[in-house]
Amino acid sequence: RTSPLPQPDADGRTREVDAVVVGAGLSGLYMLHRLRSLGLSVQAFDGNEGVGGTWYANRYPGARVDVKSLDYAYSFDPDLEQEWEWTEKYPAQEELLRYIDHVADRFGLRPHIRLRTRVTEAEFDEGAERWHVRTDRGDRVTAQFLIMATGCLSVPRLPDVPGLDRFRGRWHHTAQWPEEGVDLAGKRVAVIGTASSGVQVIPLIAEQAEHLTVFQRTPNFVIPANNHPLKPEDQRAVKARYAEVRKANRESGFGVAFPEATKGAMEVPAEEREAYYRKVWYDDDNSLVSLLSGYNDLIISKESNDTIAQFVRDRIAEVVDDPEVAKELQPWDHPLGVKRPCLGTNYYETFNRPNVSLVNVRRTPLVEFTPGGIRTSEKEHPFDVIVLATGFDAITGALTAIDIRGRGGAGLAEKWAEGPRSYLGIAVAGFPNLFTITGPGSPSVLSNMMVSIEQHVEWVGDAIAAMRAGGKRTMEATAEAEDAWTRHVDEVAQMTLYPTADSWYVGSNVPGKPRVFMPYAAGVGVYRQQCDRIAASGYEGFVFT
């Protein structure tokens, strides 16, 4: 990885650019590239020491993507997609970061990015019709456009348990893992959290630690990743028809094409269902999408969902030697897929190791961190290292953390106090020329993020190009369009089982966050059609000056 250049603090002067892009992860880098291709001057900022966003920050052992590499890669440049060789079905964080660094270099993006610099404030100047942006390093920049490429899962959450500052060992959140790694050999290690991050890190920590104690509040459904090196001939075969693959992904539900199921799970005999689930479970080429797309009602019918949930519970009982531990690991409190299901490698098997124990913190809740470890309602557990796989203030957290003020000085965080309101998940009434990449109200986290990111970046780029061609200065969602879209997002969610579970999709992991199902659940294909129709209509629902 290219080391970041030392960057001095800002010199106090206000600079003027056409656009500021906040974030230099997968969305920020592509937005930067797109706007530069349109001839705009752009300044991007990122708080990390390097580009890559999620893939820069999440360096914990086992971190890897849960969408197949060939689907997760950028599609915007045919040469890039042909030339880059992926090594695995699900590449690990280092490989993803290598890829992102390559993209930053290949498209000459680095000179336009200020790293280790967080945007703290952005205020719209109604007179000048420009955004005034400030950073924690003293930068002052004004820009016509402000694009928030801040990520859906970029603000880590610590558990609301007192005493972490008193703990004398080392503690790390999985999303703030030190670049130099953490020596776990011979250590007594705790992991709190058993969702995607926990499920990935737990088996690898178990291999290194003297003893690992896993603190589980909610068991999750963990599907075997069946990860493997990509065969060159398989990679060649996809690349030979890449355009077709990409088109199908864009038109699909989750951003990864899969033959559409025509039947509900209860419409076929139990043996046929079981055979399908079994095939997916053991198939080398399986994916979350193949699991959830086998029947057309798994996310809308509890009865149908129960069939697949029970299948997974049976597999857990099969793999885990101790029946009591198996029972603890079986999820009962939510349908499969309505919280993000996890992909795992040796996850359930890890609980058969003699150096791993499981604590159910619903039965014996966490009371406090102590200087020596963690106290539950039952006893104190001594630790050398505590790993917090406790998630994020998702989707809105990175946006409301910045003091963003639109017309009349109105704040975005205040506007969203009762839940996010957005038009298409892209634009917010009262905040002209502000665009959110994969914002609340767009498919975002319910999809292959790369498909959603590219669609948003291209839609926003096209809108800006159209404005410039038409001599327009500002573009703003109307309150009516925003209201109607926000209602629509909720209506679609209510047709599914998604809102039934406590999850970061509804903000229930952050105390005080309003319970609103934030992503748009109609699928990326349907969503794209609506975005395209709105653009073709001359941007219905927007006003221009």
Note the residues at the interface with ligand N01 (CB under 6 A). Answer: 65-66, 153, 159-161, 192-198, 200, 215, 217-218, 340, 343, 361, 366, 389-392, 445, 504, 509
C-alpha dihedral over 395, 436, 102, 87, to 10 degrees? 40
Our CB check for ligand N01 shows the closer of 298 and 366 to be 366
CA distance 75 to 511: 38
Q: Which helix (H) or strand (E) holds 203?
A: helix 196-208
Our CB check for ligand N01 shows the closer of 394 and 434 to be 394
The answer for 301, left when phi > 0, alpha when psi is -120 to 50, beta otherwise, is: beta
CA distance 506 to 526: 22
Buried b (16+ CB within 10 A) or exposed e, 273-309: bbebbeebeeeeebbbbbbbbbbbbbbebeebbbbbb
CA distance 410 to 397: 18
**Nearest by Cα to 474 from 521, 425, 407:** 407
Our CB check for ligand N01 shows the closer of 215 and 520 to be 215
Our CB check for ligand N01 shows the closer of 276 and 520 to be 520
Let me know: does 7 contact 114? Beta carbons within 8 Å: yes
Our CB check for ligand N01 shows the closer of 259 and 512 to be 512
| Minimum separation from the CB atom of position 226 to ligand N01 (A) | 13
| Minimum separation from the CB atom of position 127 to ligand N01 (A) | 41
| Minimum separation from the CB atom of position 291 to ligand N01 (A) | 14
* Residue linked to tokens 């209860």: 266
CA distance 299 to 302: 8
Tokens of 459: 């839609």
Our CB check for ligand N01 shows the closer of 447 and 486 to be 447
Tokens of 346: 């040796």
Our CB check for ligand N01 shows the closer of 391 and 406 to be 391
Starting at the edge strand found earlier in the chain, the sheet holding 380-382 runs 366-370, 373-376, 380-382
| Minimum separation from the CB atom of position 212 to ligand N01 (A) | 15
Our CB check for ligand N01 shows the closer of 145 and 520 to be 520
Our CB check for ligand N01 shows the closer of 298 and 427 to be 298
Residue at 473: amino acid letter: R
Q: Please write down the HEC assignment for all residues of 462-518.
A: HHHHHHHHCCCCCEEECHHHHHHHHHHHHHHHHCCCHHHCCCCCCCCCCCCCCCCCC
Let me know: does 118 contact 135? Beta carbons within 8 Å: yes
Helical H runs in 132-267? 196-208, 232-240, 242-250
| Minimum separation from the CB atom of position 538 to ligand N01 (A) | 36
| Minimum separation from the CB atom of position 143 to ligand N01 (A) | 30
CA distance 430 to 94: 40
CA distance 201 to 508: 23
| Minimum separation from the CB atom of position 303 to ligand N01 (A) | 24
Our CB check for ligand N01 shows the closer of 341 and 541 to be 341
Our CB check for ligand N01 shows the closer of 307 and 509 to be 509
| Minimum separation from the CB atom of position 463 to ligand N01 (A) | 28
| Minimum separation from the CB atom of position 366 to ligand N01 (A) | 5
> Which residue's beta carbon is nearest to the bound ligand N01?
391
Between the two ends of the chain, the Cα-to-Cα distance in Å is: 44
| Minimum separation from the CB atom of position 153 to ligand N01 (A) | 5
| Minimum separation from the CB atom of position 313 to ligand N01 (A) | 17
